[in-house]
Structure 1
Amino acid sequence: MTTSLVDAESVLAIEIGSIHTRALLFDVVDGQYRFIGAGRAPTTIHAPFFDISEGIHLAISHLQEITSRILLEESRLILPGKADGSGVDQVVLTYTAGQPLRVVVMGLLEDVSVESARRLAASAHTIITEAIGLNDRRPPEAQIDALLRARPDLIILSGGTDQGASRSIAKNVDLLTFALQIIPREKRPEVIYAGNHALVTPVKDVLSTYTQVHVAPNLRPEIDVENLSPAQDILADAEFHIRSRQIGGLQSYRSILAVEPLSAPFAFARMIRFLSRINNPGKGVIGVDLGAGNLIIASAFQGNSAVSVLPMGTGPGMAQALRTIPISEISRWLPIHIPESVVEDYLWHKTLHPTLLPVTTETAAVEQAAIRQVLWNGLNQHRTRYPNTPLLAEPILAAGMPLTQWSPQTSLMLLVDGLQPFGITTFVQDAHGLTAALGIISTNNAILPVQVIESNAFVNLGTVIVPLSNARYGTSILKVKVEYEAGNQISLEVRQGSVTALPIQTGQTARVHLQPLRPITIDPIGKDTTRSFKVIGGVCGVIVDARGRPLSLPTDAARRRDMLKKWAAGFGA
């Protein structure tokens, strides 16, 4: 028996993705929680199984093979674990599988309650198919027709400050009641009511006759106050109820789980919020998880978090990206000449074959270009949706196969080019895709995530320093002196428009001194007194990115491609 301060409980985290199902094992090693290994298998929500159970069984079997740990007995999971070390003590489950939930948002003012309902919906894997507010000039019968055509899985009903408007909300409830009576019972959407708290009882009494009603705290308790976090927990519950009907076998696993299943975006955001509480209080934390179908962006500052689930990815999600991003915006990131028609053909091909790997120089260049632009567009959408998103982040955490399949140098280049951070930022790579699992485990085990993060399960890609200057391209703007612990030191100059790697090895501690040769800004929102600080070298060391913000690419194609190659060399990519 362990004598450590942690409970000696092994945890199996199951993740149901659109393409793959994964089984992640965590256990105590030498008195500390550690990530043990991961098994993977195809997700089996489609034909011929239409049930997640087979995919879960195959993923656990794969995990059993690679860890040489007995987890199954007569094809059944051993739960709880036995004294001989076989089996596991707890199981948790997250999911991203399934089509986006079709959502209708209803409120009063378009730029107040309706917009808050949109932001709430955007924090989950959803697509908004209709919006109805006070400014909607369609007659009631046309609005009912619109509701029916939208075929929603979920309706978010908001509006009115607490003790505020009631008549307009009652009008929306009447409209919704008519629509629900027309829809066959087995196809009726569930409803989240997140409006005037004084109307909770009458609204629930009326609508619960026809469908499941979830009550959340008012999204707008006051006209200038938005409160999304409590409603996001209710949205997570509603999503699980709906997914239980859509995903075969999901409900059956509920009885063996230590906590309620949770969609991966909410679990991911929970972990980012946790990191913001234990890291630099003056900076926020940003997390990005890029998959085949979606881009999850979560940000947090001093424990307050926001999450966006954007229908953009490197597989099926590329279709939505191509509808909103001009192909020229992607092609501008190519370091070699590839016709735009070829770029577009390859990316559309990826929507049909998301597991296709880029095996040539050309296809790798196209995919890397698309990743940069998807990250840039996604972060801008997130910042527009949540204006309080921190400008300075420490760290920025990256997950998802499209971001982790490259060399560390290339991954860092894609992240810096796509997210374009300010100040001094450490980039951390979740190469094993643990963040969402740790987020749900933290629900009843706060020690495990801390100890896994402190282990080597996450990869420190490197620290990026961004000096901002108005100097001309090629002008020396900064002298950098690196002092090593052994006492030796080196100095070098940084030119405007360059990417410069400092000679600091992985795990090596050094003090960096910045001596401006031209007016520069390191912290664009603070007092900007940071001129000397200690760093620990990541896999890619320490990078000084003096290209300015936002990045400006030359319009001349040949010069642009030459510059991209120089930047890549600066990252070591």
Structure 2
Amino acid sequence: MTSQIVESILAADVGSTFTKAVLIDVVEGEYRIIAGAEFPTTLEPPWSDVSLAVQQCFARIEQIAQRTLLDEHGTLVVPEREDGTGVDAFVATASAAEPLRVAIAGLMRDYSVESARKATHSTYTVAETLLALDQQQEGKRWDLPSRISALQKQSPSVIILTGGSERGANDPLLDVAYAVATACATWPDASKPDVIFAGNASARGAVAEKIGDHAPLRVVDNVQPSVNGENLLPIESELETLYLERRLNRLPGLGKLSAVASKPVAPTSTAFGAGVRALAKHFELSVVGVDIGGATTTMAVQEGETFQRLQRSDLGVSHNVENVARTAGIDNVLRWLPLVLSEDEAWDRLANKTLRPFTLPETREDLLLEQAVAREAIRLALADLLQRWTPKQKPQVAGLLPPIDLLVGAGGVLTHAPYPGQTALLLLDALQPGGVVNLALDGGGIMPQLSLIAGVHPQAAAQLSAREGIVALGTAICPTGAVRAGELVVSYTLSYDDGGTVSGDVRAGEIDVLPLKPTQKGRLELRPERNIDLGQGRGRAGTTIAEGGAVGLIIDARGRPLVLPPDPAERAEQNQRWLYNVGA
């Protein structure tokens, strides 16, 4: 297939909750999104075939676009025929497969075991069991029977065996290998986990002898070859391979999609990371992307030559909504609500969402609770991302988002919010950036597919990124510094292209939005108080070109970190006021 003949493209994503598809074609010389559709994913019985949801999306797109995509058997026609039936290319991503359940066994909890745990956050895995030789249990440093029992009860898909710096002692590591081998020996052949050894290279032969034929053994480079050195990539690559082999490629119905796909079907999180890299390269900016789905939350950053991707397969807003609340604490979820809701009622609503993951929020309370959960899922994911990413410039407040040029949100809870101001506020609350950052939204739902589209036609991906795939929300100005509520933080003057100006003050605890439409730019003069930092140093005034968007120009003077009133009624009133100020 050559890029010259690719005009019409279908892109699909098979998610854990919903399947989405968009039709792309050339309109007046530029690639545009013609139509889109979504349908509940058909993984579970009675369907048990993910291709059926994709077909439903295609059928809906046929109705919207008034063109034929499928043949008489319901199969997508690729390439496009002379009569206009079908498309020139089809690309797809998927995240509907169950994540790999991982157990980690090693020598030291805070070193090699922790490094292996960090590596599991690179793909669709959940680390459910962590066993370390130095862990205390009932006063004993290593209780072999209980550790074997823990592995047997968990029945993991993968066991990562790690420990020992290069050329270090092997005997303690072999004790752990014995526990792993003993547990594996009790499982039937069909249930045996894959064992990945990522420890001292000199122990490979002895470990292989211990494991024997009790489980399939894969060997990679040491995850922690020295006390102060980590090497996560070998484990990450092996886990990605296992996920493809053991989970994604075994999705029922995926083979039907692969048969007509122009590129191999890719894991959504991997493709999303590649999409972030493509955006950063195209716009020559540092970019952070956040994709929150029903079961998984993914974050990716491209800053200069540095790229990192973080995935939490236990954090989502439908299948894993209760796990977010348990991990973050229900009180941390409830603090974001513009209403007073009891913990019991919140848990009831979250349980209903878990039982019925395909349902959309029916009430305003349900919607706001889902958005509150999303804030906490993103906050937890950011904490893990910061363990892997060393930014060029440290955040002004530890644990918050470091300075970045562009922040892009993706996922239904963000793209389907009733008001763009809700999406912008959600991102600002969850990540709490400082300085100046441009906010955007994957409005076309194509971020994960951008890299695949670039593989069949680079120009199509570039034009979609620049024109309509990524929707600008606006520029956010986020001052930092110690001030009391109500004190002056910054004065501003915004000059429009037509000669008009608007000036004003923003005080501590406030978030204001100035009108600045999409594609519109304005010259913004900022005059902070002497203890306020806009990203250039305390008290330093500055001028920047602000870009408009669906929300406008946002000045967020609520402080970093955000401090919410302890009283539930006052807190709810404050949250409602902020929502009102951003037009939501």
Same fold (TM over 0.5): yes
> Is the partner of 1:347 in helix, strand or coil?
helix
Residue of structure 2 in register with 1:545 after alignment: 556
> 1:454 aligned to 449, 461, 466, which one?
466
> 1:513 aligned to 525, 534, 538, which one?
525
> 2:42 aligned to 44, 47, 58, which one?
44
Residue of structure 2 in register with 1:419 after alignment: 431
Q: Residue deviations 1:204-262, cap 9 Å, x none?
A: 79869565555545433444232334543332221011115753233564454444333
- Aligned runs of 1:121-160 on 2, under 5 Å? 121-136=120-135, 137-160=141-164
Distance 1:445 1:105 in 2: 42
Corresponding letter in the other structure for 1:124: T
Distance 2:101 2:154 in 1: 8
1:571 matched to 2:582: yes
1:314 matched to 2:317: yes
Distance 1:193 1:442 in 2: 36
Distance 1:560 1:288, change over 3 A: same
1:272 matched to 2:276: yes
Corresponding letter in the other structure for 2:107: L
Residue of structure 1 in register with 2:223 after alignment: 219
Distance 1:446 1:168, change over 3 A: farther
- Aligned runs of 1:400-419 on 2, under 5 Å? 400-406=411-417, 407-419=419-431
1:287 matched to 2:289: yes
Distance 2:478 2:461 in 1: 30
Query: Taking every aligned residue pair, what percent have the same amino acid on both sides?
Result: 32
Residue of structure 1 in register with 2:396 after alignment: none
Distance 1:60 1:165, change over 3 A: farther
Distance 1:502 1:490 in 2: 9
CA shift, 1:489, in A, is 2.4
> 1:20 aligned to 15, 18, 21, which one?
18
Distance 1:225 1:447 in 2: 41
Contact 2:278 2:450 in 1 (8 A): no
Query: Structure 2 unaligned runs (5+)?
Result: 136-140, 392-398
501-510 or 491-500: which moved more? 501-510
Distance 1:446 1:231 in 2: 31
CA shift, 1:550, in A, is 1.0
Distance 1:558 1:186, change over 3 A: closer
Q: Residue deviations 1:74-107, cap 9 Å, x none?
A: 2222233333332234433322214332111233
CA shift, 1:426, in A, is 1.0
Residue of structure 1 in register with 2:394 after alignment: none
- Aligned runs of 1:164-313 on 2, under 5 Å? 168-196=172-200, 212-229=216-233, 231-244=235-248, 247-251=251-255, 253-279=257-283, 284-302=286-304, 303-313=306-316
Distance 1:523 1:104 in 2: 42
CA shift, 1:430, in A, is 0.9
Distance 1:233 1:87, change over 3 A: farther
Distance 1:67 1:197, change over 3 A: farther
Residue of structure 1 in register with 2:92 after alignment: 93
**TM-score (structure 2 length as normaliser):** 0.87
Distance 2:33 2:237 in 1: 27
**TM-score (structure 1 length as normaliser):** 0.88
Distance 1:204 1:285, change over 3 A: farther
Residue of structure 2 in register with 1:555 after alignment: 566
Distance 1:140 1:374, change over 3 A: closer
Corresponding letter in the other structure for 1:275: L
- Give the CA RMSD over aligned residues: 3.2
CA shift, 1:203, in A, is 6.2
CA shift, 1:188, in A, is 1.6
Residue of structure 2 in register with 1:370 after alignment: 373
> Is the partner of 1:77 in helix, strand or coil?
coil
- Aligned runs of 1:304-343 on 2, under 5 Å? 304-343=307-346
- Aligned runs of 1:95-110 on 2, under 5 Å? 95-110=94-109
1:64 matched to 2:62: yes
> Is the partner of 1:180 in helix, strand or coil?
helix
> Is the partner of 1:14 in helix, strand or coil?
strand
- Aligned runs of 1:441-480 on 2, under 5 Å? 441-442=453-454, 446-480=458-492
CA shift, 1:269, in A, is 2.0
Distance 2:380 2:250 in 1: 30
Contact 2:165 2:225 in 1 (8 A): yes
Corresponding letter in the other structure for 2:445: G
